[in-house]
């Protein structure tokens, strides 16, 4: 970089730091400004009590360390990411309705398709999945364990604020491509970033993408440390290990998994960046070998699956009893299964590598452990079913999504058991069967549970009730759409359709008509889910402003003897607000 | 919690610093990876400054300045270590001479990054030295 550019950047950086310093001196001297007015005036007209908790307007959201606010921020961020990842996949599915490259041709063809596919995977896992769970846990773990806040509120805020820049970096290639005339493109490494491909792609968009991913890993690790300390040391004296709720158990286990898995991903990414930019040879064929990357990546990557699925399992274990009128069947065994899955999850990673030519004896042991992990998963599934058995079932939206979770989890889980068998994997590896299997889990189960939780706790967060008919429409579009799409993918896999391809059938293969039909069916299912998502978004936004007040016990939990700490807290808050004669600090949440 | 008057005092559930710790980390990672000295120096100074302020605000230290100086010193150490990896031997003249590689044509990229981290560390230390004076006159 020449001297004038360096100077210009120095001046720019100086101006930026001066602006930061000015903003900070304004914020830190707030007390000299506020007594005269009620604050920034953006949300004027609220009671003076509010200003003792936090400032108003945008400043509140930029400076908040309140776990509930941070939970909402995570939620909004997750929804934006979900929209990005969802739009990416709709473009992908539209392209795949025809064998040739046509729909995306004008936008960049195969390269654009590869960028979309990479972005869809990373966005949904790291920028939607992990944050949506963090949203739920930030808001509700302190309430469920009776803590005032998280153990480290500032670290909590740091963990959140790392995510928006991480997302911008991960998506940067898409924005910079038109701005730089194609010099910087979107990353096309797929979410697994397999070497040597990810070293050979010299596009700086990949470096930005890796940095973003690294930052999101730092964020997840900070969050995990915070949850571990909070659940260990901030519990109310009434909450002990014997009566700790199931969601907290799963978040505890998940946080431990994050603590062991994410730093490893961070280190592997730094090594990959060094290989790309500093000519190190960690993952080159002549050096440490590309297989080393796969080992390191999947040592993180498989626990990541459980990082994503354990808290949703906790949510389901929490919600199903409430609407079945029965306690969770075999609570202890659900907890033990959670812990067992947590431990076993670190011993299965090489089942992603059965076809790489690694030692057959190693493959054998990984097949055995992968099969074994079906046992605690099945224990949970049977316990959910048994909890519902003979129960007083109420099919509310959260319950519908929970039952949908169990149904999809069974299909996703059983196909996973098949895949863990080496001979089956040899045939189905890198086909759409794998794509169908893990989408049944990540969309059919994890996202379903995320939305079950959103519906279940919506009255607490918003103080209002959503429109129940629209919620049912959302559920049925998703249930039908996901099964159409992902079952078609399983069939595509049996038919030998390889994953990651933008085009197909150009070899004149005899089954290409069937493959195209299955692709069309899968795409139709995706659009049905997109309609459901729009219904959900409309419902939540409109109900936030216009929905009927939810009241202290929106699910009649007291009537069914199903009281729980977070709804008791909610009722207390409403009662306090009424006796105070005005809204309290959270009423606008 | 109440060591320094500020946003945190008036609003129990607010703090100015987390946003800037995050921004600092992002900017410094970008600057160091791409070897752009102004960006990495600015980012690292923001990062360690905001950390020191947050730690002090949370009540773990009375004042942020010594921690800031310590973090600055840590950066200087890390920067020197990175630059020294490019020395061909561990002889004193080689170790001292390695910094010239950052200004050679073409410059050694690793040394450039080391120097940028050292500069950031020194800036942090300077800030820690002048900060108390500025803060006194300001209040």
- Using one digit for the tens of pLDDT, what is the confidence trace for A510-565? 457 889 999 999 999 999 999 999 999 999 999 999 999 999 999 999 999 999 99
Q: Check if the beta carbon of residue A354 is closer than 8 Å to that of residue A421.
A: no
Q: Do A17 and B33 touch (CB under 8 A)?
A: no
- Provide the sign of the torsion angle of the four alpha carbons A67, A73, A75, A81, taken in this order: negative
Average pLDDT over residues A126-140: 96
**Structure confidence at residue A56 (pLDDT):** 78
CA distance A512 to A501: 14
Q: Is A40 on the interface with B (CB under 8 A)?
A: no
**Structure confidence at residue B10 (pLDDT):** 61
- Provide the sign of the torsion angle of the four alpha carbons A122, A126, A129, A132, taken in this order: negative
- Provide the sign of the torsion angle of the four alpha carbons A243, A248, A252, A253, taken in this order: positive
Q: Using the 8-state DSSP alphabet, how is residue A466 labeled?
A: -
Q: Determine which of B15, B24, B31, B38 to mutate to test the interface with A (most A C-beta atoms within 10 Å).
A: B38
Reported as a pLDDT band with limits 50, 70 and 90, residue B1 is: very low
Burial label, A286 (beta-carbon count in 10 A; 0-12, 13-18, 19+): exposed
Q: How many CB atoms lie within 10 A of CB A166?
A: 23
Q: Check if the beta carbon of residue A132 is closer than 8 Å to that of residue A74.
A: yes
Q: A12-26, A33-47, A415-429, B98-112: which has the highest mean pLDDT?
A: A415-429
Instruction: Specify the 3-state DSSP secondary structure of A67.
Output: helix
Residue with the larger pLDDT of the pair A60 and A424: A424
Reported as a pLDDT band with limits 50, 70 and 90, residue A52 is: low
Neighbouring residues of A359: CB distance < 8 A, sequence distance ≥ 6:
none
User: The tokens of B9 are what?
Assistant: 């005092």
Q: Check if the beta carbon of residue A162 is closer than 8 Å to that of residue A479.
A: no
* Residue range B32-72, pLDDT digits in tens: 999 999 999 999 999 999 999 999 988 999 899 999 999 99
User: The tokens of A137 are what?
Assistant: 């846990």
Question: Where on the phi/psi map is residue A203: left (φ > 0), alpha (ψ -120 to 50), or beta?
Answer: beta
**Structure confidence at residue A78 (pLDDT):** 97
User: The tokens of A13 are what?
Assistant: 């950086």
Question: Is it the case that residue A109 has pLDDT exceeding 80?
Answer: yes
**Structure confidence at residue A440 (pLDDT):** 97
Reported as a pLDDT band with limits 50, 70 and 90, residue A38 is: very low
**Structure confidence at residue A579 (pLDDT):** 66
Which of A122-131, A235-244, A382-391, B10-19 is predicted least confidently? Answer: B10-19
- Provide the sign of the torsion angle of the four alpha carbons A417, A418, A423, A424, taken in this order: negative
Burial B62-80 (b: 16+ CB within 10 A, else e): eebbebbbebbeebbebbb
- Alpha carbon of A126: minimum distance to chain B alpha carbons (Å): 17
Reported as a pLDDT band with limits 50, 70 and 90, residue B97 is: confident
Specify the DSSP element, H or E, that contains A86: helix A67-95
Q: Do B14 and A273 touch (CB under 8 A)?
A: no
Burial label, B90 (beta-carbon count in 10 A; 0-12, 13-18, 19+): exposed
User: The tokens of A453 are what?
Assistant: 């939780």
**Structure confidence at residue A508 (pLDDT):** 52
CA distance B116 to B31: 9
Question: Is it the case that residue A413 has pLDDT exceeding 90?
Answer: yes
**Structure confidence at residue A166 (pLDDT):** 97
Reported as a pLDDT band with limits 50, 70 and 90, residue A30 is: low
Residue with the larger pLDDT of the pair B6 and A573: A573
* Chain B residues touching A31 at Cβ < 8 A: 5, 9-10
Chain B positions contacting chain A at CB under 8 Å are 4-7, 9-23, 25-26, 29-30, 33-34, 36-39, 41-42, 45-46, 54, 57-58, 109-110, 138
Which of A20-34, A412-426, B76-90 is predicted least confidently? Answer: A20-34
Burial label, A424 (beta-carbon count in 10 A; 0-12, 13-18, 19+): middle
Helices assigned H by DSSP within A394-549: 397-420, 422-428, 432-439, 448-462, 468-494, 512-546
- Provide the sign of the torsion angle of the four alpha carbons B123, B128, B132, B138, taken in this order: positive
Instruction: Specify the 3-state DSSP secondary structure of A350.
Output: helix
**Structure confidence at residue A512 (pLDDT):** 77
- Alpha carbon of A90: minimum distance to chain B alpha carbons (Å): 31
Reported as a pLDDT band with limits 50, 70 and 90, residue B13 is: confident
Question: Is it the case that residue A49 has pLDDT exceeding 70?
Answer: no
Reported as a pLDDT band with limits 50, 70 and 90, residue A43 is: very low
* Residue range A260-301, pLDDT digits in tens: 999 999 999 999 999 999 989 999 998 899 999 999 999 999
Reported as a pLDDT band with limits 50, 70 and 90, residue B7 is: low
Question: Is it the case that residue A40 has pLDDT exceeding 50?
Answer: no
* Chain B residues touching A157 at Cβ < 8 A: 15, 18-19
**Structure confidence at residue B6 (pLDDT):** 57
User: What integer best gives the mean pLDDT of chain A?
Assistant: 91
Domains in chain A with CATH codes: 53-244 (1.20.210.10), 394-550 (no CATH), 555-589 (no CATH)
- Which among A24, A55, A158 has the least Cβ separation from residue B11? A55
CA distance A156 to A165: 16
Q: Do B11 and A53 touch (CB under 8 A)?
A: yes
Instruction: Specify the 3-state DSSP secondary structure of A443.
Output: helix
**Structure confidence at residue A35 (pLDDT):** 40
Q: Do A24 and B15 touch (CB under 8 A)?
A: no
CA distance A224 to A150: 11
Question: Is it the case that residue A356 has pLDDT exceeding 60?
Answer: yes
**Structure confidence at residue A1 (pLDDT):** 63
Average pLDDT over residues B76-93: 90
Average pLDDT over residues A382-394: 96
Q: Do A207 and B37 touch (CB under 8 A)?
A: no
* Residue range A431-446, pLDDT digits in tens: 999 999 999 999 999 9
Of A185, A187, A173, nearest to A122 by C-alpha is: A187
CA distance A168 to A165: 5
Complex ipTM: 0.90
Which of A302-306, A550-554, A576-580 is predicted least confidently? Answer: A576-580
Burial A75-110 (b: 16+ CB within 10 A, else e): bebbbbbbebbbebbbbbbebbbebeeebbeeebee
CA distance A274 to A388: 53
* Chain A residues touching B57 at Cβ < 8 A: 154
Question: Is it the case that residue B137 has pLDDT exceeding 70?
Answer: no
Question: Is it the case that residue A44 has pLDDT exceeding 60?
Answer: no
């Amino acid at each position: 970089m020449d001297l004038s550019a360096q100077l210009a950047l120095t001046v720019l950086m100086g101006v930026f730091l001066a602006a930061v310093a000015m903003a900070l001196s304004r914020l830190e001297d707030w007390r000299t400004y506020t007594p005269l007015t009620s604050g920034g005036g953006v949300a004027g007209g609220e009671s003076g009590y509010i200003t003792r908790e936090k400032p108003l307007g945008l400043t509140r959201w930029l400076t908040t360390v309140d776990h509930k606010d941070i939970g909402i921020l995570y939620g909004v961020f997750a929804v934006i990411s979900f929209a990005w990842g969802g739009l990416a996949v709709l473009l992908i599915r539209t392209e795949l309705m025809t064998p040739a490259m046509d729909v995306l041709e004008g936008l960049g063809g195969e390269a654009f398709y590869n960028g979309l596919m990479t972005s869809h995977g990373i966005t949904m896992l790291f920028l939607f999945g992990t944050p949506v769970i963090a949203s739920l846990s930030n808001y509700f773990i302190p309430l469920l364990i009776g803590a005032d806040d998280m153990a480290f509120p500032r670290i909590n805020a740091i963990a959140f604020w790392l995510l928006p820049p991480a997302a911008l970096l991960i998506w940067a290639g898409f924005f910079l491509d038109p701005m730089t005339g194609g010099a910087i493109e979107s990353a096309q490494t797929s979410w697994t970033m397999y070497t040597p491909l990810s070293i050979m792609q010299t596009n700086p968009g990949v470096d930005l993408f890796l940095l973003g991913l690294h930052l999101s890993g730092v964020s997840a690790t900070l969050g995990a440390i915070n949850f571990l300390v909070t659940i260990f040391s901030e519990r109310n004296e009434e909450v002990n290990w014997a009566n700790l709720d199931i969601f907290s158990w799963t978040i505890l286990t998940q946080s431990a998994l994050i603590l062991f898995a994410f730093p490893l991903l961070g280190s592997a990414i730094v090594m990959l960046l060094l290989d790309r930019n500093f000519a190190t040879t960690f993952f080159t064929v002549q050096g440490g070998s590309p297989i080393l990357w796969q080992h390191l990546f999947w040592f993180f990557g498989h626990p990541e699956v459980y990082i994503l699925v354990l808290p949703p399992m906790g949510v389901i274990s929490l919600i199903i009893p409430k609407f079945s009128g029965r306690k969770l069947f075999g609570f202890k065994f659900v907890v033990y299964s959670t812990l067992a899955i947590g431990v076993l999850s670190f011993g299965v990673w090489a089942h992603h590598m059965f076809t790489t030519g690694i030692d057959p004896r190693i493959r054998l042991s990984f097949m055995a452990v992968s099969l074994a992990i079906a046992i605690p998963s099945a224990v949970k599934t049977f316990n959910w079913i048994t909890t519902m058995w003979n129960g007083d079932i109420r099919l509310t939206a959260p319950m519908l999504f929970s039952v949908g979770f169990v149904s999809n989890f069974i299909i996703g889980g059983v196909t996973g058991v098949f895949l863990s068998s080496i001979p089956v994997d040899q045939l189905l590896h890198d086909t759409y069967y794998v794509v169908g299997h893990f989408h049944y889990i990540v969309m059919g189960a994890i996202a379903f549970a995320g939305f079950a939780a959103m519906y279940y706790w919506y009255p607490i967060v918003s103080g209002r009730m959503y429109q129940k008919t629209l919620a049912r429409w959302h559920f049925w579009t998703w249930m039908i759409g996901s099964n159409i799409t992902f079952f078609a993918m399983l069939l595509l896999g049996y038919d030998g359709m390889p994953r990651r391809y933008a085009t197909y059938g150009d070899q004149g293969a005899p089954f290409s008509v069937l493959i195209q039909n299955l692709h069309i069916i899968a795409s139709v299912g995706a659009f049905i889910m997109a309609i459901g998502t729009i219904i959900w978004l409309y419902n939540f936004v409109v109900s936030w402003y216009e929905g009927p007040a939810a009241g202290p016990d929106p699910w009649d939990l007291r009537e069914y003897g199903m009281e729980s700490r977070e709804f008791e807290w909610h009722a207390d808050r409403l009662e306090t607000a009424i006796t105070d004669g005005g809204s309290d600090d959270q009423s606008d949440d | 919690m109440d060591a320094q008057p500020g946003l945190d005092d008036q609003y129990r559930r607010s703090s100015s610093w987390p946003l800037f710790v995050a921004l600092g980390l992002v900017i410094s990672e970008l600057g160091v990876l791409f070897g752009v000295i102004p960006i990495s120096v600015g980012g690292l100074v923001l990062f360690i400054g905001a950390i020191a302020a947050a730690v002090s605000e949370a009540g773990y230290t009375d004042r942020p300045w010594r921690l800031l100086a310590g973090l600055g010193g840590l950066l200087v150490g890390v920067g020197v270590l990175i630059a020294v990896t490019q020395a061909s031997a561990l002889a004193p003249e080689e170790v001292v001479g390695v910094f010239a590689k950052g200004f050679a044509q073409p410059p050694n990229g690793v040394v450039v990054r080391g120097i940028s981290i050292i500069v950031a560390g020194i800036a942090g230390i300077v800030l820690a030295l002048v900060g108390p004076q500025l803060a006194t006159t300001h209040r």
